[in-house]
Amino acid sequence: MADIILFNKPFQVLSQFTDERTQNPRSTLAEWIKQPGFYPAGRLDYDSEGLLLLTNHGPLQHRIASPRNKMPKTYWVQVEGDISGDAIDRLSQGVNLKDGPTRPAKARRMAPPDLWHRNPPVRHRETVPTSWIELTFSEGRIRHVRRMTAAVGYPTLRLVRYQIGDRRLDKLQPGEFRMEQVHLPDTPTAPSRQRHRSGTRAPKARRPNRRSASK
């Protein structure tokens, strides 16, 4: 068993417990998470909101955070402009970024979700519409979602991570968290050598006598 914390990281909070800045330090997880021994499994950008997982179990932390395990993550993204079907198709197929093409993603347009009010709010321009999309993928590049939407011509205005694997944000409000227990698979052990019923090791097989073998 291992413990895991599902935390709704607020906007403009670092996904770590300390800030390297000495002047004007930023908000960190230490303001909300007081349980000792828990560390974030992965990261979420300072100006992104939503689900962040923390655990007190090292192997589980690595399993969640490692890109090799390809754990899918789902984001709700508000973009500037009325996003087109062609842009959705391009996001689904993968787009070219400076560090190489992205993998195909699940992308769809969605109705505006029922979310908390962000502080500060997203800038509003009367002459420019906005739209919401849902993106699901298993990559983890720096500022991945923002770079993807910008590449198809729709800058990201608000970014909320809703799901990691099969764990969802659900009704958690910014700064709230809930704790769950995870059943971990047993670690396989190496098979032991065959033993006699008496508990002693089986004797080694004798090599055939060279003289008899040559006959």
Q: What's the CA gap between 62 and 53, in Å, rounded?
A: 12
DSSP characters over 136-188 = EE----TTHHHHHHHHTT--EEEEEEEEETTEE-TTPPTT-EEEEEEPPPPPP
Whether 45 is a known active-site residue: answer: yes
> HSE on the CB side for 148, CA within 13 Å?
32
Point out the catalytic residue in the list 3, 19, 45, 99: 45
| φ, ψ (nearest 5 deg) of residue 24 | 50, 55
The catalytic site residues sit at 45
